[in-house]
Amino acid sequence: MDMKSNHGAPVLTDPAPINKSRLGIPSNLLPYSPTGAAFSPSLHLTIPRKKPGKLDDVRASGWLDAMKASSPPRKKLTKDFNFEVVSDDTDVAYRIWTLKYPSALTSFEQITNYAKEKRIVLFLDYDGTLSPIVDDPECAFMSDSMRSAVRNVVKYFPTAIISGRSRDKVCEFVGLTELYYAGSHGMDIMGPVRHSVSDDHPNSIRSTDEQGKEVNLFQPASEFLPMIDEVFRSLVEITKGIKGAKVENNKFCASVHYRNVDEKVIVASWATVAQCVHDIIKDYPRLRLTHGRKVLEVRPVIKWDKGKAVEFLLESLALSNCGDVLPIYVGDDRTDEDAFKVLREGNRGYGILVSSVPKESKAFYSLRDPSEVMEFLKSLVRWKESSAL
């Protein structure tokens, strides 16, 4: 596939070699191998995340700009006229930006033209994509109408929700079955049991969910689970004399909370907590310590992101080697760029960036906000239903 400009919109077309030569890199260096060797979790876990350098420098120096860009000026309400006037500059900048990242709604026909004879697989971010961004992350609820739109789209397309949040939390927010939930940036994936090849895939573990319903679990870092559990039990033991310390087993991360440990009590200070954690994990070179808000977190030393989650899910669902599969990923933030990059550079499918302000992205298309995401999902359903007639 290759990108071609057509009325300002990117279109995926065959054949692949054109794009590879344009990228100036041999096909075997592309991040995705179309030859599809048998899946090996270790293969994926050892892929370097990305070379340090230019991109990170750009990100570092661009943070302030990105923050400003994420806070566009409010719409003005004129005194004399009782209607809203959108800031001209903002509007013009956005419209210019959509020449590069056309709206997935206005370009819908191009997308579906390409998707003819193909099987669309949908990947959806949660926060800011299916739900509005809110001050309290515990209150990032999706609307009933969005839930209904997702429920309908799942009837026609394999769909996964990929979030940085824990899988349980995303499941709770969405509250739908028959789709894949990928929590912890895809390290913890749960999906419905289907009578297909995926049920027998070596990455799939049959389990039951909270309601006792059979599900498939896909956990690329599952080899770490016994280690995390062992460390969890050691941490419980070593901190049991520290008043206020609480150890939590988050499956892919053991967390030591010290919010309730009195900092002034010398024998049970935060430093003691830190020393205890250090004493345990020094014997585990494959684990590392990260700092959260009044919590120490012990997690696997693996490089994992949403791009790898997309690859892993396609592999696990036995869809990675199918030429007739078109992955579409919809997301709104920096962590979604890894997935956009995998789709773009692997010539696999479309990334759709959800943004109301201009941003550089690896996505092909854009949508302004979650309400447009909902409209896009509804359009997909209508298209599928009408094409089935």
Binding site for Mg ion (CB under 5 A): 125, 127-128, 332-333
CB of 62 to Mg ion, least distance (A): 18
CB of 165 to Mg ion, least distance (A): 10
Query: In angstroms, rounded to a whole number, what is the distance separating the alpha carbons of residues 209 and 217?
Result: 10
Of 165 and 257, nearer to Mg ion (C-beta) is: 165
CB 352 within 8 A of CB 336: no
Instruction: CB nearer to Mg ion: give 126 or 364.
Output: 126
Q: Taking the complex as a whole, how short is the minimal distance between the CB of residue 101 and Mg ion, in angstroms?
A: 17
Name the minimum Å distance from CB 245 to Mg ion. Answer: 32
How many of the other CB atoms lie within 10 Å of CB of 49? Answer: 12
Q: What is the DSSP letter of 143?
A: P
**Which tokens is 208 given?**
């039951």
3-state secondary structure (DSSP) of residue 229: helix
Identity of the residue, 315 or 332, whose beta carbon is nearer to Mg ion in the bound complex: 332
Q: Locate all alpha helices (DSSP H) within 70-116, ordered by sequence.
A: 88-100, 108-115
Q: Which is nearer to Mg ion, 135 or 283 (CB)?
A: 135
Q: 348, 338, 337, 305: which is closest to 101 by C-alpha?
A: 337
Distance CA 383, CA 349 (A): 18
Residue 39 or 126 with smaller CB distance to Mg ion = 126
Least distance (Å) from Mg ion to the CB of residue 31? 22
Sheet holding 295-300, edge to edge: 246-249, 254-257, 295-300, 287-292
Reported as half-sphere exposure (CB side, CA atoms, 13 A), residue 280 has a value of: 28
CB of 201 to Mg ion, least distance (A): 28
- Whether 3 contacts 362, CB under 8 Å: no
> d(Cα 255, Cα 250) in Å, to the nearest integer?
7
Instruction: Output 112 or 356, the one with its CB closest to Mg ion.
Output: 356
Q: Which of 153, 339 has the CB closer to Mg ion? A: 339
Nearer to Mg ion, 87 or 166 (CB): 166
Nearer residue to Mg ion within complex by CB, 242 or 373:
373
Q: How far is the CB of 106 from Mg ion (least distance, A)?
A: 23
Nearest approach in angstroms of CB 194 to Mg ion is 27
CB 258, CB 235: distance < 8 Å: no
**Cα 383 from chain centroid?**
25
Q: How far is the CB of 178 from Mg ion (least distance, A)?
A: 22
* 199-204 contacts at long range (C-beta below 8 A, 24 or more positions apart): 201/316, 201/317, 201/318, 202/39, 203/39, 203/41, 203/312, 203/315, 203/316, 204/316
Gap between the Cα atoms of 32 and 352, Å rounded? 19
